[in-house]
Amino acid sequence: MDRSVYLDYAATTRSIRASRTQCSLLHERFGNANSLYALGRDAARTLDDARSGGRRIGASQPDEVIFTSGGTESDNTAIIGLAPRWARSGH
């Protein structure tokens, strides 16, 4: 029996649900969401559905949900997004 304790959930999680969803998407909806072919359109619909679910985390509009490739890109997106507000407030 594995008795280890994982405490780095900022990096990843061992969620069975998330793993199954990701595997399903990688095998069934793997098209380029920016393309015009059927697999791409299906992938785009999947992303749109995921963005619409953003209400659960406080997003009022789907375009408030931004998918990034990792922590650094997420941090940079947040900082660049807030920079104009900080500049106007004199910070």
Domain boundaries, the chain: 29-89
Alpha-carbon span 67 to 64, nearest angstrom: 10
User: Which is nearest to 42 in space by CA: 24, 30, 51?
Assistant: 30
pLDDT higher at 77 or 1: 77
pLDDT digits (tens, 9 = 90+) for 30-60: 899 999 999 999 999 998 988 888 888 888 8
What is the pLDDT at residue 18?
A: 83
**pLDDT, the chain, mean:** 86
Token pair 């393309």 is at which residue?
Answer: 35
DSSP at 20: H
| pLDDT band per the 50, 70, 90 thresholds, residue 91 | low
CA distance to 52, 54, 61, 89, per residue, from 57 (Å): 11, 5, 11, 27
